[in-house]
Amino acid sequence: MIIQGRDGCVCFFWGPEQLLVSSLPLGVDQYDYYKGVANDLIVDGLRDGKTMKEIIRGCHTLCDVVYSKKLRKDKISSETHQYFCCSMLALIKMKMIDEEEYTLVCGRKKPQKKS
C-alpha cells in the first residue's frame, strides 16, 4: 500500500527479499510526526518498566506479523500500517536496522507542462 502525500512518500521494506510493506505520505511535518510517535513508543515503553530488549522484540514481532500478512495477501488495516511504520522508525531510532537499507524516500513526480 503506497500512500502518497503532497511531497511524495517514504516506503518501508521488510523481510529477506526486502518486500515493500507500507509507506507514509510526505508533506507538512508528517514524517517528523511519525518519528515523534516512534520516539514516544520507546520512551513510554521504558517508563512502563520494559527493557530495551523487550521493546525491540515487540517491534520486530509486529513487523514480522505484518510482513507475513503481506506475503499471504491478507488485508492489512490502515491502523496496522501506521503501527508498522512507527515500529520501523523505532527500530531505526534504536539503531537496530539501517535506515538506508529498509526505507526509500520517493519525491513526487512533477508533471511536465505542455506547451
Q: Residues 39, 26, 56, CA angle at the centre, nearest 5°? A: 30
Distance in Å from the first CA to the final CA of the chain: 34
Per the structure, the complete domain to which residue 25 belongs is given by 8-106
Task: Answer whether residue 35 is part of any domain.
Answer: yes
Q: Calculate mean pLDDT across residues 28-50.
A: 89
Residue 56: what are its φ and ψ, rounded to 5°?
-65, -45
Chain segment 16-36, per-residue pLDDT in tens? 888 889 888 887 777 888 889
Give the pLDDT confidence score for residue 1 in this predicted structure: 57
The confidence band for 54, taking pLDDT boundaries of 50, 70 and 90, is very high
State how many domains the chain has: 1
The confidence band for 3, taking pLDDT boundaries of 50, 70 and 90, is low
Q: Return d(Cα 57, Cα 80) in angstroms, integer.
A: 17
Task: Answer whether residue 115 is part of any domain.
Answer: no
Task: Answer whether residue 1 is part of any domain.
Answer: no
Residue with the three cell numbers 516512534:
38
Task: Answer whether residue 19 is part of any domain.
Answer: yes
Task: Answer whether residue 112 is part of any domain.
Answer: no
Task: Answer whether residue 42 is part of any domain.
Answer: yes
Task: Answer whether residue 16 is part of any domain.
Answer: yes
* Segment 65-74 long-range contacts (CB within 8 Å, at least 24 positions apart): 66/14, 66/21, 66/22, 67/14, 67/15, 67/19, 67/21, 70/19, 70/21, 71/15, 71/19
